[in-house]
Amino acid sequence: MATVAIYGAGQLGATVAEILTNVPHHKVLGVFGRSAREEALTSGADVVIIATTTKFKDVAADIELAVQSGSHVLVSSEECAYPWAVDRTSADHLDALAKSKKVSIAGTGVNPGLIFDSLVLTLLGAAPRGCTVAVRRTVNISGFGATVLRRLGMGFTPEVFAERVRREEILGHAGFPQSMTVVADAMGLTIDAIDKELLPLITSYEIDLPDRFRIAAGESAGVNQTYTAKVGGKPWFTSHFYGHVDLAGINKSAMDEIELSLDGKVFQTITLKPGIGSQVGSKNMVANSIQRILAAPDGWVTVAHMEPAFPESL
């Protein structure tokens, strides 16, 4: 029996609670919103799930409080898939604190957490040395709440989109440098640089996102991102993300594809059709990670150091 407290009363927190409430050997202590921060983080639950926001700096103090209170921590913040990529000092501090408290911290989700890192490492297991990696994800992002959609970059003219990207208010989908670094780190590679391109997909028709906002013709209804990590001065890992709020309306289908190439030729491709859904995949991945965070080594671990996630019963 594991006790679980969930901090973050948004879409992910609420749906993870629904799943875990139906797992007989777990007890959900509650889904706690902003006003019940202390209650959630100092609950002393076996596992605290933090499902609030994207940036490591915005959850670091929350993670610290939960670890100080003796809980393992699962956190959905994309930057937490590999926090050293944004703040080495804080990541090292929390890693050391978790080790001293004999608990584990891990970022979890689908992207990052599965498609661009865990699955890539699994597929590389059957590949020869020297492969380059390309991952392509085409995904319907219409299920996210307004805050996440705005941060992704939905509903802006091209000019405002570009300005907000410059001010780092629009992130597109976050977490690609983290996923690529998880894979590089596991393989003992050092990434020299990551080239980033984040472009808006402008809609030619109005799109209503019920209970959130309307996107007018001429505004962004999707993002097209390409991040290329270089090793030894050459492209090694390319992450493509094509997210749109109305994929069917633009005649595209959800898909995930991982392609390994050797000496410029395709060595292996796996394609998931349909691709893993953002909401359904993430809520399951977080809920299915309770057992593996309990079993993980002490300290801050990445998906390269954890068992796979899977449902704990039928």
Ligand X SMILES: NC(=O)c1ccc[n+]([C@@H]2O[C@H](COP(=O)([O-])OP(=O)(O)OC[C@H]3O[C@@H](n4cnc5c(N)ncnc54)[C@H](OP(=O)(O)O)[C@@H]3O)[C@@H](O)[C@H]2O)c1
10 vs 70, which CB is nearer to ligand X?
A: 10
Residues 71-110 binding ligand X (CB under 6 A) are 76-78, 109-110
Short-list 75, 58, 53, CA closest to 5: 75
Q: Is 9 in the site for ligand X (CB under 6 A)?
A: yes
* Local structure of 34: helix, strand or coil: helix
d(CA 212, CA 130): 46
Q: In the set 40, 51, 134, 247, which binds ligand X (CB under 6 A)?
A: 51
131 vs 183, which CB is nearer to ligand X?
A: 183
d(CA 73, CA 47): 6
d(CA 54, CA 31): 18
Site string for ligand X, 123-162 (x = CB under 6 A): ---------------------xx-xx--------------
Q: Which stretch binds ligand X (CB under 6 A): 11-19, 188-196, 203-211, 260-268?
A: 11-19
Q: Which helix (H) or strand (E) holds 13?
A: helix 11-21
Packing angle between helix 11-21 and helix 278-287, nearest 10 degrees?
A: 50
118 vs 132, which CB is nearer to ligand X?
A: 118
d(CA 151, CA 243): 13
Minimum distance between the CB of residue 153 and ligand X, rounded to whole angstroms? 13
Q: In the set 43, 69, 111, 238, which binds ligand X (CB under 6 A)?
A: 111
Q: Which stretch binds ligand X (CB under 6 A): 85-93, 111-119, 190-198, 254-262?
A: 111-119
d(CA 304, CA 290): 16
The number of angstroms, rounded, from the C-alpha of 314 to the middle of its chain's C-alpha atoms is 25
Packing angle between helix 88-101 and helix 60-68, nearest 10 degrees?
A: 10
Shortest-Cβ-distance residue relative to ligand X: 10
131 vs 296, which CB is nearer to ligand X?
A: 296
Minimum distance between the CB of residue 234 and ligand X, rounded to whole angstroms? 28
Q: How far apart are the first and last CA of the chain?
A: 17
Q: Is 5 in the site for ligand X (CB under 6 A)?
A: no
Q: Confirm if 286 and 296 have CB atoms less than 8 A apart.
A: no
* β-pair partners for 200: 223
2 vs 74, which CB is nearer to ligand X?
A: 74
131 vs 223, which CB is nearer to ligand X?
A: 223
- Token digits of residue 293: 């965070």
Q: Is 12 in the site for ligand X (CB under 6 A)?
A: yes
Q: Is 177 in the site for ligand X (CB under 6 A)?
A: no
Q: Is 54 in the site for ligand X (CB under 6 A)?
A: yes
| Interface residues toward ligand X, by CB under 6 A | 8-13, 33-34, 51-54, 58, 76-78, 109-113, 144-145, 147-148, 282
